[in-house]
Structure 1
């Protein structure tokens, strides 16, 4: 009986071996992904702590320009997750042109871009910024307040972008007569989430239908995430267009077709 079972199972051995190999490969890939995510989180937290300590001790409190200058001094001496002055200036031009009343930032880091954005928002403008790491979110929030901004002007939300986006509408506080949507979105978190989060924001109705500017920070021009976004634009040119691409920053524009035809 045993010999019969052995003989019957022999033709299945290659398939069983292939299935086991694939299972081990998937498990190894998943494990490597978890390790890489943990290392990125640890490096980001260490970078944020070092940056926070330097900026907090060296800047003039209550002075947003001094906070940004101190960030740039630190970035000149150490690796930094901040976008830096080149991208920062390009971002300034976008904000001054769009003049958003409601803005979303995905990826607070240590508050550098938050400070840049807040100093250019109109008096009734407001920023929601999302940071996955609670420790980094606390450091970023403190730097934003050191720069002189109040909680009535901004709010730091802790959690992953995927978890937070469906809850964003309840945090919006538009000015009277304004839309409860975002005029401008800055993505500077995990590039692999850019396309997923962009589509989630659209499906949740959080992008202003008459026009929303989306800024993507692309530090690696060969990153597949940029090609994914370009593919979206190619397949939906009636909704999305690329307005500019400079200094590792890609500016997109979203507008609903119905709004375009009006």
Structure 2
């Protein structure tokens, strides 16, 4: 993944944000040491951002689309109350197994429920509302995830969508591949969706923050 923000700025921002927990650090380091695609990991700065968003909306139910090794799921679990729940969807058992190992070392791990299988199928079976829905899975299905997430979102909740700058390739016309085209379409769709308000923030590889419009919006 390209660094869209200068590494020294990223490090400065991380140093002045809430620190990662010891369990989260161990999970991150284990992922970086053992997984072939460790760059997919949500790092400490974005993890802090996700925790803050969950705290701001007073989240008790979180849905995550795309767990990888569970760093972001753990961040959410650390941010919600003891009776809160994080449902996280993952298709790869090896990645999920690494997450389980570290969840067991955290007092917050019991809040996390892993659903293995295609995320769209899992989402069809779920009932809302969810206070936070974090989308970070296969890019070609981003628009499908967004549409289902809107139906599952609580009136005061937020949808967070990762990698919406896609290494800067969202600027390319025509798009170089199917994944880039899908992310461009998602960004256009959300920007023109009259039911929501959104802001695309330049944290890491871009995070789209979306909320439903209220009666006075």
Give your verdict on TM over 0.5: yes
Match of 2:207 among 238, 250, 253: 250
- Residue correspondence of structure 1 range 3-42 to structure 2 within 5 A: none
User: Is the contact made by 2:142 and 2:182 (CA closer than 8 Å) also made in structure 1?
Assistant: yes
Q: Which runs of 4+ in 1 moved over 4 A?
A: 74-79
Give the match for residue 28 of structure 1.
none
Alpha-carbon separation, structure 1, partners of 2:98 and 2:32 = 20
Q: TM-score, normalised by structure 1?
A: 0.62
Give the 3-state SS of the residue equivalent to 1:123 in structure 2.
Answer: coil
Task: Quickly say closer, same or farther: Cα 1:234–1:142, change in 2 above 3 A.
Answer: same
| Counterparts in 2 of 1:76 and 1:126: CA distance versus 1, 3 Å | closer
- Aligned with 2:65 (options 96, 106, 129): 106
Is 1:217 aligned to residue 162 of structure 2? yes
Residue 45 of structure 2: SS of its match in structure 1? helix
Unaligned runs of 5+ in 2: 1-19, 170-179
User: Is the alpha carbon distance of 1:75 and 1:154 closer, same or farther for their aligned partners in structure 2, counting shifts above 3 Å?
Assistant: closer
Preserved CA contact (<8 Å) 1:87 1:248: no
Change (3 A) 1:193 1:71: same
Closer, same or farther in 2 for the Cα pair 1:155/1:75, shift >3 Å? Answer: closer
- Report if the CA contact (8 A) 1:211-1:253 is conserved: no
Query: 1:171-211, CA deviations, whole angstroms, 9 ceiling, x for partnerless residues?
Result: xxxxxxxxx40110111111222111111233xx3111x23
Question: Which moved further from structure 2: 225-234 or 127-136?
Answer: 225-234
Aligned match of 1:155:
113
Decide which structure has the larger Cα Rg and report it: 1
Pick aligned residue for 2:21 from 55, 65, 68: 65
2:42 to 83, 86, 90: 83
Higher RCO by CA contacts (8 Å cutoff, separation 6 or greater): 2
How many residue pairs align between the two structures?
183
User: What RMSD over aligned residues (CA atoms) do the two structures have, in Å?
Assistant: 2.5
Q: Contact 1:92–1:120 (CA<8 Å) still a contact in 2?
A: yes
Larger relative strand fraction: 2
Partner of 2:188: 231
Distance 1:234 1:244 in 2: 13
Q: Equivalents in 2 of 1:107, 1:160: separation in Å?
A: 10
Note if contact 1:106-1:131 (Cα within 8 Å) is conserved in structure 2.
Answer: yes
**Partner Cα separation in structure 1 for residue 135 and residue 51 of structure 2:** 15
Q: Distance in 1 between matches of 2:95 and 2:30?
A: 17
Deviation at 1:250, TM superposition (A): 1.3
Structure (1 or 2) with the greater helix fraction: 1
